[in-house]
Amino acid sequence: MELEVERQSNPVDMIEFVAANNDWSFERSGEDEIAMTVEGRWTDYHVSFSWMEEFEALHLACAFDIKVPENRVNEVIRLLSQINGQVLMGHFDFWRQEEVIIFRQSLLLAGGAEPTNQQVEVLLSSALDACESYYQAFQFVVWSGMDAQRAIDAVMFETVGEA
Domain boundaries, the chain: 11-162
The one-letter code for the residue type at 151 is A
What is the pTM (predicted TM-score) of this model?
Answer: 0.83
Q: Specify the pLDDT at position 14.
A: 82
- Under the banding of pLDDT at 50, 70 and 90, the label for residue 8 is low
Query: What proportions of the chain, in percent to the nearest 5, are helix, strand and coil?
Result: 40, 25, 30
Give, in degrees to the nearest 5, the angle at Cα 23 between 17 and 27. 65
Residue 99 Rama label (left phi>0; alpha psi -120 to 50; beta):
left
User: Is pLDDT of 161 > 60?
Assistant: no
Tens digit of each residue's pLDDT (9 = 90 or more) over 119-144: 888 898 899 999 999 999 999 999 99
User: Is pLDDT of 159 > 90?
Assistant: no
Strand partners, 104: 61, 91
What is the C-alpha R_g of the chain?
A: 17
Query: What average pLDDT score do residues 46-73 get?
Result: 91
116: helix, strand or coil: coil
CATH architecture of 11-162: 2-Layer Sandwich (3.30)
Q: How far apart are CA 74 and CA 145, in angstroms?
A: 12
Tens digit of each residue's pLDDT (9 = 90 or more) over 81-117: 999 999 989 999 998 888 889 999 999 998 888 888 8
